[in-house]
């Protein structure tokens, strides 16, 4: 049964599009057949399937399972929950792969699929292979069986198992948790009912319309409600999660945002105490402060490409016990499985906060202060965004600039650095600038703006 996907949905590290337009139930069923074929030909027999809280997820899950079964695979349905619960189920149940139906942090009309083959991410060329198998109708056939599996309680127990309950009890923290009406709500509620201290859950009801705010903790306006709660309730910190619970955001007791690279710096302390000299990976959007902090702490910093699947693959290759992205994906192999689980990361962060006089505020204050922008996003069509960065790179090299092209272009100057890369999940170009002071930052932003204009993009105010 040949089926061609809309080419825009076959992305670098997942499959994602607009429900009813570029992603339909027949696409989910076709994905099940093509992905199931890959798993079967990889020697696999059973896969896990989970889904997030989006309104379209249950119907896509049903169609996906139908396609998987048609290849002869057995399917374990773990139900609704955050993406890391699905990842955990693949390890816990020793499955041969897994698929999570999730639109992650995209708007409510989006949905998609994050995949594992074996215990590793399915991304890049393998996603393109899924497209080719489906279009050619080169598919396995058979009659698999489906079974429901209660994994929720085991998952909650597992992520709680690395919490330092004694330190938390002594610290007696007050913590605000904002799950943004996303798929992490029920798990976070179960977790905080077991933790010492006072815990306040906001937007905990799973609602695929996201009535409170968009579930993306990297965007400052989405953290305002959490900041207000921290101030009103005099919390020690606040924690926020994206729509499928694999990305984290945080604010300290003063309401200041603690960005993903700062969290990674804070979390690296315990890991490097336990494994001196370990490699710690961060993506190209991360602050130079982080890379310098890791080196000064006795670790080996490694700058790598943005993308949860790409980071996990690099961790596997290097044996790194910890990695992270500016976007709030943080990956613990140290004591855990190496996938991005924002709820688990939150608990490891609480361990660090509990052992630090002054808490998260003091941990943030200890990091060197530089002036940087948050992640900047410039609208750009799906077709054009991948052409612009090579144009910029060519002009910069001709001008003799110091350019790192690990992922997009990261340009180093005496003032600091700026970055431009195409997003793999949205119709945008992503940028970031970091300077030694305000004047330096302005010069960096103007250099970025000049390059965008040279490629026909008028940058908005930064």
Query: In which domain, by residue range, is 401 found?
Result: 371-454
Would you name the residues annotated as active-site residues?
A: 104
Residues 86 and 190 in one domain: no
Residues 238, 300, single domain; the answer is: no
**Among all chains, which residue has been given the structure tokens 């052409």?**
387
- 245 and 281 in one domain? no
Mean pLDDT per segment of 10 residues, for the chain of length 462 residues?
92 92 98 98 97 98 98 98 98 98 94 96 94 96 97 98 98 98 98 98 97 94 98 98 97 96 97 98 95 97 91 94 95 97 98 97 94 88 89 94 94 95 85 94 96 90 78
Q: How far does Cα 5 stand from its chain's mean position?
A: 24
Does 66 reside within a domain?
A: yes
pLDDT reported for residue 459: 84
Cα–Cα distances in angstroms (integers) from residue 433 to residues 11, 210, 285, 366, 397, in the given order: 26, 30, 9, 21, 19
Q: Quick check: 433 and 444 in contact, CB under 8 A?
A: yes
Among the candidates 210, 234, 257, a domain finishes at: 257
Instruction: Point out the domain boundary residue: 205, 237, 257.
Output: 257
176 found inside a domain = yes
Q: Are residues 202 and 252 in the same domain?
A: yes
Q: Is residue 42 part of a domain?
A: yes
Position 191 scores a pLDDT of 98
pTM for the model:
0.93
Claim to verify: residue 95 and residue 117 sit in the same structural domain? yes
Would you call 41 helix, strand, or coil by DSSP?
helix
β-pairing verdict for 371-372 and 376-379:
unpaired
CATH number, domain of 201, equals 3.40.120.10
CATH of the domain at 447: 3.30.310.50
Same domain, 335 and 391: no
Q: What is the DSSP string of 368-430?
A: PP-EE---EEEE--TTTHHHHHHHHHHHHHHTT-EEE-SSSEEEEETTEEEEEEE-SSSSEEE
Specify whether the CB–CB gap between 26 and 62 falls below 8 A: no
Residue 228 domain-assigned? yes
459 lies in a domain?
A: no
Contact 241, 182 (CB under 8 A): yes
CB-based burial of residue 302 (10 Å sphere; 0-12 exposed, 13-18 middle, 19+ buried)?
middle
Give the up-direction half-sphere exposure of residue 193: CA atoms within 13 A in the CB hemisphere: 9
Domain shared by 189 and 168, yes or no = yes
Instruction: Supply the DSSP symbol for 173.
Output: -
Whether 133 and 33 map to the same domain: the answer is yes
Asked whether residue 11 falls in the same domain as residue 146, the answer is yes
Shared-domain flag, residues 140 and 23: yes
Number of domains comprising the chain:
4
- Mention every residue, 6+ apart, whose C-beta is less than 8 A from residue 96: 39, 42, 43, 44, 45, 46, 47, 117, 118
Pairing of strands 376-379, 402-404: unpaired
- Residue 272 within a domain: yes
Based on the fold, state whether residues 180 and 248 are members of the same structural domain. yes
Task: Determine, yes or no, domain membership for 2.
Answer: no
CA 95 from centroid of its chain's CA atoms: 22
Of 92, 123, 150, which residue sits at a domain end?
150
Domain annotation covers residue 352: no
CA distance 245 to 229: 20
- Given this model, what pLDDT does residue 88 score? 98
User: Is residue 332 domain-shared with residue 403, that is, in the same domain?
Assistant: no
What pLDDT is attached to residue 374? 82
> For 189, how many CA atoms within 13 A lie in the half-sphere containing its CB?
14
């Amino acid at each position: 049964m040949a089926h061609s996907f809309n080419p825009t949905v076959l992305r670098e590290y997942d499959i994602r599009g607009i429900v009813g337009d570029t992603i339909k139930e027949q696409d989910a069923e076709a994905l099940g057949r093509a992905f199931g074929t890959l798993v079967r030909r990889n020697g696999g027999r059973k896969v896990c399937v989970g889904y997030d809280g989006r309104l379209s997820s249950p119907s896509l899950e049903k169609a996906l399972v139908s396609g998987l079964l048609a290849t002869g695979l057995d399917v374990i349905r773990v139900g609704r929950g955050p993406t890391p619960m699905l990842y955990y189920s693949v390890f816990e149940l020793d499955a041969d792969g897994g698929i999570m139906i999730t639109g992650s942090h995209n708007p409510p009309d989006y949905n998609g699929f994050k995949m594992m083959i074996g215990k590793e991410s399915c991304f890049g060329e393998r996603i393109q292979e899924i497209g080719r198998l489906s279009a050619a109708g080169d598919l396995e056939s058979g009659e698999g069986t489906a079974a429901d599996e209660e994994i929720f309680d085991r998952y909650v127990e597992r992520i709680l198992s690395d919490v330092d309950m004694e330190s938390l009890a002594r610290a007696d923290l007050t913590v605000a948790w904002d799950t943004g009406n996303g798929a992490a709500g029920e798990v976070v509620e179960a977790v905080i009912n077991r933790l010492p201290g006072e815990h306040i859950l906001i937007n905990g009801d799973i609602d695929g319309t996201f009535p409170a705010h968009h579930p993306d903790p990297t965007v400052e306006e989405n953290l305002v409600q959490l900041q207000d709660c921290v101030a009103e309730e005099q919390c020690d910190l606040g924690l926020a999660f994206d729509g499928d619970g694999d990305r984290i955001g945080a604010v300290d007791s003063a309401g200041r945002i603690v960005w993903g690279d700062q969290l990674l710096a804070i979390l690296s302390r315990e890991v490097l105490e336990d494994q001196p000299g370990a490699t710690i990976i961060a993506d190209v959007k991360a602050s130079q402060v982080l890379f310098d902090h890791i080196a000064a702490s006795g670790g080996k910093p490694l700058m790598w490409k943005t993308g949860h699947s790409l980071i996990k693959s690099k961790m596997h290759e290097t044996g790194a016990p910890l990695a992270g992205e500016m976007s709030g994906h943080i990956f613990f192999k140290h004591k855990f499985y190496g996938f991005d689980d924002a709820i688990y990361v939150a608990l490891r962060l609480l361990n660090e906060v509990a052992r630090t006089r002054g808490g998260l505020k003091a941990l943030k204050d200890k990091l060197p202060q530089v002036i940087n922008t948050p992640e900047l996003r410039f609208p750009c069509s799906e077709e054009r965004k991948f052409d612009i960065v090579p144009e910029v790179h060519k002009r910069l090299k001709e001008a003799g600039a110091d350019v790192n092209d690990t992922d997009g272009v990261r340009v180093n100057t005496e003032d600091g650095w700026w970055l431009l890369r195409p997003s793999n999940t949205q119709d945008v170009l992503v940028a970031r600038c970091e300077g030694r002071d305000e004047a330096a930052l302005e010069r960096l932003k103007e250099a970025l703006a000049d390059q965008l204009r040279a490629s026909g993009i008028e940058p908005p105010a930064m």
